Structure 1
Amino acid sequence: MKLMTVEAARAAMLAAIRRLGPVELALQDALGRMLAEDIHAVRDQPPFTNSSMDGWAVRSADGPGPRKIIGESAAGHGFEGPLSAGEAVRIFTGAALPAGADAVVIQEDARRDGETVEVPAIEPGDNVRQAGRDFRAGGRLLSEGLRLDPWRLSLCASAGRDRVRVVRPPRVSLVSTGEEVVEAPAVPGPWQIFDSGSPGLEAMLRTWGAETRRVTGVRDRREAVRDAIAAADGDLVVTLGGASVGDHDLVRAAAGDLGLDMRVESVAVRPGKPTFFGILGDGRPLLGLPGNPASAFVCAELFLRPLVAALEGRPSAPFLRSVRLVGPLPANGPREHWMRARLVPGRDGEAVEAFLDQDSSLVRVFSEADALLRRLPHAPAAAAGDAVEVLPLLRG
């Protein structure tokens, strides 16, 4: 099989992906989705000049001294009359400033005596929020392509939006093969293990914003694998296991029965060499991941996460950063190696240490890792303190 570098394989995969179309959702259902439109303000915010404190609305030009109290302005219930010389209006935070007033004396600085209030000197604009201070009518508040987090969703609401156009959530079908795995609460046979790969991948996909459908328990029969892939709907099909070329690795052949146009045959990566990618005869992209959990999870970070991002039209390149090694590492072999590692405090900031056991079947090691440490092909031995690249993992 032809080996491709990680970068070349990812580029070939992304070249086959097209951004999904838009869908209109109620604002409360749009959290985490990508905007498919710009959001503009329909009016000023705030729409009227208002008080930033509880106190007394006054005319600053009147200077210090007593004021006649002529009314009250509260949030949602403004004072409708004008304010004349020598007058004051009791005002509360967020309430509209009466016509004629240009400042607010905070209540701690004033002294009320019946129907009058004694106020100090004050400057124009003190404790006042001007209309349009947050944004102006017609202004663009959010741009197409931004992900709606709680704060951006709040901004949409402040602009009077109850529905927004967003990129449709990617739908991913996950097909797990292999008679050696069972899912709890089923009891494993003497030669079986619990399935940890597909639950983990499904959780990763949901974290990345995809809607998922999981098909498990597919028997190691070519026709069974073929039928499971054929029935898997969605924008992307991901298979787990059976990706290599052994007698029981049937996914490539089964996908070939469905007209697979192979774009990536194998990747020069460790772990995860058997990873492949192609386009099925009906146009659905298919990513084949190895069955060992560490191999599947590493390649999910390197390839599956960028594919989901590309379906939404988001930047798809993994974010790498440079940190210092805690301890030495041996020279690397011919394949790019992504080592499970943990980020720790160092003398000059954050540092990284790789786990000693990098076997691709280990789930516990991945549960303790918060980064993948990148070692380029044929990289020489590295010493403690050397700079290396890491891919941080999203952890709770």
Structure 2
Amino acid sequence: MAALLPVEDAQARLLALQGALPSNKIAFSECFGCYISDDVIAQRDQPAAPLSAMDGYAIRFVDLPGPWTVIGESAAGAAPDRAVGAGQAMRIFTGAMLPDGADTVIVQEDVAIDGAALTMTGDGPGAHGRHIRARAADFAAGDRLLPAGTRLTPGAIAAAAMSGAGQLAVGRRPRVAILTTGDELVQAGRSLTAGQIPDSNSPMLTAMLAGEPAEVSLPHHARDDRATLAKVLKELARRHDVIVTVGGASVGDHDHVRGALADAGGRIDFWKIAMRPGKPLIAGTIGDTILLGLPGNPSSAYVTAILFLLPLIRHLAGARDPLPAVHQAPLAAPLAAGGTRRDYLRARFSAGQLTPLIGQESSMTLPLAAANALLIREIGAPPRAAGAMADYIVIA
């Protein structure tokens, strides 16, 4: 019997099946969640000139404690029309450019104004340069603001827009088809006959991909027939970058994914992983389309989607670090020894501790609703007491 493939080896082989998809330039309004293809380099200083951080008056620090003569006003969006000289002040508002000659802002709560005469009534600024945003305090022209492969969060989009760019080059969103198999599955919400169950995997995987830069087609379903499945696979491969099959990946008489993949002109790259749940994972290709065959049990499908499907989508979309980050936290309860496969236990991270949930069977869905972490137990790991450190992956 062939040895089971370690998780890290399987992840590496899956991502090696295809490089990042071609990039295209799109508007900021369309790029949330995408991965940038090129470094974002600042085209300008931010701010481009010294700005006031408060409403008040621009003065020369050497002229404290005043009095001053107010000679004009500086508002955001326009350059001051004159410089500030000895004994002079200029009314200034938050975000407005500091006039030449001024080096400090005194806030309006610390002064009194009578016509053009300004006097200090409070403590004053206290130090040279107070209440001023220095030129290039945020970034300077030529700075690398975001490296290629960065996911575009709202904050990253703000920085890119402030850089002076009008569009961003981002990786194309992979086109993904979800294909469930199994004669027992019925669309959720429909009436069931004896032996049938609702399809929970399609809505689950669709929801998982909703937060990723992917274009997901409506879920597809094929009955447990090898010829039918091969025909569907061949058709889906023409229009998608990734086909995610769910179920039919094991060795039963009705598990047809491997055979159907071959019949559709595809090939298997690997099958069976040293992990629990999720051992019968399949990865292969049909032309340039990647097929990822997930197990049919809901917890198995969920865990393998976290470890393989989501990283694959991020990789194709151009992510710099597509794999899930591994964290550490103490156990809230003792943990039994590991077995012959790496375990990914559905767990709850709360109050700084990890608690494995009751109900680790791969067919169970209710623990998935409560889980926000996958607790990792290595192959052959010794028993651990409460308080011992354990690795985990955030899943919600």
What is the TM-score normalised by the length of structure 1? Answer: 0.91
Q: Which amino acid aligns with 1:191?
A: G
Q: Which amino acid aligns with 1:132?
A: A
Q: Which amino acid aligns with 1:247?
A: D
- Using a 3 Å threshold, how does the CA distance of structure 1 residues 269 and 85 change in structure 2: closer, same or farther? closer
- Using a 3 Å threshold, how does the CA distance of structure 1 residues 245 and 96 change in structure 2: closer, same or farther? same
Superposed CA offset, 1:98-118 (max 9, x none): 222222221122111223111
Specify the alignment match of 2:312 in structure 1.
307
Q: Which residue of the other structure, out of 289, 292, 295, is the alignment partner of 2:297?
A: 292
Contact 2:342/2:376 (8 A) holds in 1 = yes
Contact 1:182/1:217 (8 A) holds in 2 = no
Q: Which amino acid aligns with 1:361?
A: S
Number of equivalences: 389
Compute the displacement of 1:134 (Å): 2.1
Specify the alignment match of 2:196 in structure 1.
192
Specify the alignment match of 2:334 in structure 1.
328
Superposed CA offset, 1:101-158 (max 9, x none): 2222211221112231113776542322232222223333222221111111111121
Compute the displacement of 1:287 (Å): 0.9
Alignment partner of 1:28 is 2:29? yes
Question: Could you tell which deviates more after superposition, 43-52 or 245-254?
Answer: 43-52
Q: Which amino acid aligns with 2:75?
A: A
Q: Which amino acid aligns with 2:115?
A: G
Contact 2:72/2:90 (8 A) holds in 1 = yes
Q: Which residue of the other structure, out of 136, 140, 151, is the alignment partner of 1:147?
A: 151
Superposed CA offset, 1:328-350 (max 9, x none): 344443222222122233xxxx3
Alignment partner of 1:267 is 2:267? no
Superposed CA offset, 1:43-84 (max 9, x none): 222222222221122233334333222222111244302333
Specify the alignment match of 1:220 in structure 2.
224
Compute the displacement of 1:87 (Å): 2.4
Specify the alignment match of 2:180 in structure 1.
176
Question: Secondary structure at 1:65's aligned position in 2?
Answer: coil
- Within-5 A mapping of 1:369-380: 369-380=371-382
Q: Which amino acid aligns with 1:103?
A: T
Compute the displacement of 1:94 (Å): 1.4
- Within-5 A mapping of 1:37-186: 37-119=38-120, 124-186=128-190
Contact 2:356/2:375 (8 A) holds in 1 = yes
Distance 2:374 2:128 in 1: 57
Q: Which amino acid aligns with 1:237?
A: I
Distance 1:356 1:198 in 2: 24
Distance 1:227 1:219 in 2: 12
Specify the alignment match of 2:256 in structure 1.
250
Question: Could you tell which deviates more after superposition, 135-144 or 284-293?
Answer: 135-144
> Structure 2: which 5+ runs fail to align?
none
Question: Could you tell which deviates more after superposition, 15-24 or 307-316?
Answer: 307-316
Distance 2:137 2:385 in 1: 55
Question: Could you tell which deviates more after superposition, 256-265 or 318-327?
Answer: 318-327
Alignment partner of 1:237 is 2:238? no
- Using a 3 Å threshold, how does the CA distance of structure 1 residues 291 and 137 change in structure 2: closer, same or farther? same
Q: Which amino acid aligns with 1:261?
A: R
Question: Secondary structure at 1:57's aligned position in 2?
Answer: strand
- Using a 3 Å threshold, how does the CA distance of structure 1 residues 83 and 252 change in structure 2: closer, same or farther? same
% identical equivalent positions: 41
Question: Could you tell which deviates more after superposition, 312-321 or 147-156?
Answer: 312-321
Alignment partner of 1:344 is 2:345? no
Distance 1:390 1:98 in 2: 55
Distance 1:101 1:286 in 2: 65
Q: Which amino acid aligns with 1:26?
A: A
Distance 2:170 2:186 in 1: 38
Q: Which amino acid aligns with 2:231?
A: D
Superposed CA offset, 1:313-342 (max 9, x none): 432343223333333344443222222122
Distance 2:89 2:371 in 1: 64
Compute the displacement of 1:13 (Å): 1.7
Q: Which amino acid aligns with 1:301?
A: I
Specify the alignment match of 1:386 in structure 2.
388
What is the TM-score normalised by the length of structure 2? Answer: 0.91
Alignment partner of 1:365 is 2:371? no
Compute the displacement of 1:9 (Å): 2.2
Question: Secondary structure at 1:342's aligned position in 2?
Answer: strand
Contact 1:50/1:93 (8 A) holds in 2 = yes
- Using a 3 Å threshold, how does the CA distance of structure 1 residues 357 and 68 change in structure 2: closer, same or farther? closer
Contact 2:45/2:141 (8 A) holds in 1 = yes
